[in-house]
């Protein structure tokens, strides 16, 4: 438990103090956000706001994770390091995307194919390594099985599992990217999911099959360290949100959104709650579905379901204030996370 508290506190302090430094640095270098012309007219006033703030989140989380282990003399684990690798690798892809936008002064960075290729390469390395590295009890960070509250069903094989992991990583990194678009929206939405994973990791630690074998115990390799990772990123995210809340002084950019999506996917895979993430991160899923529905319906009929996609921009064009949308969407994110946690704990409720 001490590791979790230290990781969250250090991540919070580093991000809180580091973000204003990043704002000044990026402002001096002209690393400002480009805004799409076809977007809501109110967004044009945000042009030039410093972006790539996700670098602060990633660096603060990495330092917080290391500090928690140094302070408690605990060795890093394979599971924790793999999730951090996934976060950092996808953050690097996002950083390249953001830098191209700034360098070429346009709202589009990497071509979609190049961006997807970067995500797939990082995801493939993670997918292969996560099924290896067993501990002394023979438990690997993940098994080649799909999971909900724990692993379910038969093995789908290394090829099938790799494809499934890539779908999760690309899907959720893009889902958080689509959720990012209003000041503080993605930060708050992913923050509640990370808080849920702090609780999940701690619960799995207290009910692991090594210490107490039972029908509901968890075969998770490093539950405590996964909670530490979630706490480190959560603390960094809260510190960043202080400056990203409306009106935002800095944006996380693709650097932050891809990294955060990677963390969520990595935690779900390593805690063996892959399908549960769809519920925990329900807001991101809903927003992604709004884009899929909009594009698909337009291609079939030439008409639009929403005034604009992603969904948050639909409500902007309906006249909702940005802060109203952000707060209401945060509430939806909290309800989704609460529902996911409720399902996670329901099997531990006393049976009549």
Burial environment of residue 112 by CB neighbours within 10 A (0 to 12, 13 to 18, 19 or more)? exposed
Mean pLDDT of 104-132: 86
Identity of the highest mean pLDDT range in 5-14, 25-34, 46-55? 5-14
Buried b (16+ CB within 10 A) or exposed e, 242-271: ebbeeebbbbbbbbbbbbbbbbbbbbbbbb
Confidence class of residue 302 from pLDDT cuts 50, 70 and 90? confident
Residue-wise pLDDT for 261-276, tens only, equals 999 999 999 999 999 9
**String of DSSP letters for 138-206:** S--S--SSEESSSEESS--HHHHHHHHHHHHHHHHHHHHHHHBTBTTHHHHHHHHHHHHHHHHHHHHHH
Q: From the annotation, which residues make up the binding site for Mg(2+)?
A: 177, 254
Confidence class of residue 243 from pLDDT cuts 50, 70 and 90? very high
Q: Measured between alpha carbons, how far is 303 from 237 in angstroms, rounded to an integer? A: 38
Mean pLDDT of 21-28: 88
Q: Is residue 39 predicted with pLDDT exceeding 90? A: no
**C-alpha dihedral sign at 275, 256, 327, 182:** negative
Identity of the highest mean pLDDT range in 24-38, 175-189, 227-241, 289-303? 227-241
**C-alpha dihedral sign at 223, 226, 231, 234:** negative
Tokens 């996934």 belong to 86
Q: What is the pLDDT of residue 40?
A: 57
Q: Measured between alpha carbons, how far is 339 from 49 in angstroms, rounded to an integer? A: 35
Chain-centre distance of CA 328, in angstroms?
Answer: 20
Which two structure tokens, joined as six digits, stand for 310?
């992603």
The answer to whether 175 and 287 have CB atoms below 8 angstroms apart is yes
* Residue, of 41 and 307, whose pLDDT is higher: 307
The answer to whether 173 and 119 have CB atoms below 8 angstroms apart is yes
* Among 185, 181, 183, residue whose Cα is nearest residue 330: 185
Q: What is the pLDDT of residue 42?
A: 53
Among 112-121, 190-199, 271-280, the least confident range: 112-121
Q: Is residue 204 predicted with pLDDT exceeding 90? A: yes
Residue-wise pLDDT for 128-169, tens only, equals 999 998 998 899 999 999 999 999 989 999 999 999 999 999
CB atoms within 10 A of CB 137: 10
Q: What is the pLDDT of residue 161?
A: 96
Q: Is residue 183 predicted with pLDDT exceeding 70? A: yes
Confidence class of residue 194 from pLDDT cuts 50, 70 and 90? very high
Which two structure tokens, joined as six digits, stand for 8?
């969250």
Q: Is residue 37 predicted with pLDDT exceeding 80? A: no
Q: What is the pLDDT of residue 246?
A: 85
Q: Is residue 33 predicted with pLDDT exceeding 70? A: no
Q: Is residue 184 predicted with pLDDT exceeding 80? A: yes
Q: What is the pLDDT of residue 99?
A: 86
Is the link from the previous residue into 271 a cis peptide, with omega within 30 of 0? Answer: no
Q: Measured between alpha carbons, how far is 71 from 10 in angstroms, rounded to an integer? A: 11
Q: From the annotation, which residues make up the binding site?
A: 177, 254
Percentage above 90 pLDDT, the chain: 76
Is the link from the previous residue into 247 a cis peptide, with omega within 30 of 0? Answer: yes
**String of DSSP letters for 240-296:** HHHHHSSSPS---HHHHHHHHHHHHHHHHHHTT-TTHHHHHTHHHHHHHHHHHHHHH
Percentage above 70 pLDDT, the chain: 93
Q: What is the pLDDT of residue 215?
A: 80
């Amino acid at each position: 438990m001490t590791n979790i508290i230290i990781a969250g506190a250090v991540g919070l302090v580093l991000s809180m103090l580091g973000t204003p430094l990043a704002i000044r640095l990026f402002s001096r270098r002209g690393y400002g956000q480009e805004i799409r012309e076809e977007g809501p007219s109110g967004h044009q006033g945000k042009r030039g706001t410093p972006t790539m703030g996700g670098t602060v989140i990633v660096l603060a989380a990495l330092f917080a994770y290391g500090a928690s282990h140094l302070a408690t003399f605990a060795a890093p684990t394979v599971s924790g390091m793999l999730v951090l690798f996934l976060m950092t690798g996808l953050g690097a892809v996002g950083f390249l995307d953001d830098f191209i936008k700034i360098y070429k002064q346009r709202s589009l960075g990497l071509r979609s194919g190049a961006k997807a290729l970067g995500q797939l390469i990082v995801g493939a390395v993670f997918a292969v390594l996560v099924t290896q590295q067993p501990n002394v009890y023979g438990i690997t960070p993940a098994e080649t099985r799909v999971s909900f509250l724990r692993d379910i069903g038969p093995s789908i094989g290394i090829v099938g599992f790799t494809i499934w992991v890539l779908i999760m990583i690309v899907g959720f990194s893009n889902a958080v990217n689509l959720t990012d678009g209003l000041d503080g929206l993605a930060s708050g939405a992913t923050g509640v999911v990370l808080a849920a994973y702090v609780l999940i990791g701690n619960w799995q630690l207290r009910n692991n099959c090594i210490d107490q074998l039972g029908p509901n115990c968890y075969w998770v390799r490093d539950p405590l360290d996964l909670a530490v990772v979630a706490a480190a990123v959560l603390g960094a995210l809260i510190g960043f949100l202080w400056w990203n809340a409306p009106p935002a002084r800095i944006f996380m950019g693709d650097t932050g959104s891809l990294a955060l999506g990677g963390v969520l996917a990595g935690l779900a895979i390593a805690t063996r709650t892959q399908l549960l993430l769809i519920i925990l991160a329900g807001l991101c899923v809903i927003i992604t579905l709004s884009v899929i529905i909009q594009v698909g319906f337009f291609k079939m009929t030439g008409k639009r379901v929403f005034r604009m996609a992603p969904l948050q921009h639909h409500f902007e064009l309906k006249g909702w204030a940005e802060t109203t949308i952000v707060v209401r969407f945060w509430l939806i994110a909290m309800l989704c996370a609460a529902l996911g946690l409720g399902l996670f704990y329901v099997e531990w409720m006393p049976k009549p």
